[in-house]
Amino acid sequence: MNKITMKHYVLGFVFDGQQNVILIQKDKPEWMAGRWNGIGGKIEPGESPEEAIDREAHEEIGRSDLEWYHQITYVSPSGTMFVFAAFTPELYLQQPPDETEQAAVFCRKNLPTPLMENLEWMIPLCRAELAAPAFVHCREVGTSLA
């Protein structure tokens, strides 16, 4: 049996009051290249999920002024993803000059393709007013809920 190294990630969606969301067209890793996804990446050693999503938002869209809400904890054999949502009256991007991945604003009812698997259910769930974060458990590596 192969040993699986668990990794921990954050994923974030920034929404406005007009049904719009910021997505990133990923250029790495290779299996994700060209697909649209939320803001996010790996949690660094010693970093909390909240600190990680703040850092990723600053790195990917140049925003440090967002208040994040933990909406989903997604657990699989390969790791844990903490999914966050932020709500702001105006969606604007200040992408750092060294950022290679393209960010854009989309109406959540007309999302771009190719879209990362699971975003079709994650984005609406992140818009919901939850009393506590949703917990999703996948039993197999590579399993998609989409």
1-14 residue pLDDT tens: 556 567 999 999 99
The CATH architecture of the domain made up of 15-137 is: Alpha-Beta Complex (3.90)
Q: Which of 71, 67, 68, 90 is nearest to 82 (CA)?
A: 71
**Tokens 């998609």 sit at which residue?**
144
Q: How many angstroms from the chain centroid is the CA of residue 66? A: 14
What confidence score (pLDDT) does residue 125 get? Answer: 93
Q: Report the predicted TM-score, pTM, of the whole model to 2 decimal places.
A: 0.89
What confidence score (pLDDT) does residue 51 get? Answer: 98
Domain ranges of the chain: 15-137
Judged against a pLDDT cut of 70, whether residue 143 lies above it is answered with no
Tell me the pLDDT band of 132, cut-offs 50, 70 and 90: confident
Beta bridge partners of 87: 15
107-129 residue pLDDT tens: 988 999 999 989 999 999 998 87
What confidence score (pLDDT) does residue 140 get? Answer: 65
Angle at 83 between CA 50 and CA 29, to 5 degrees: 95
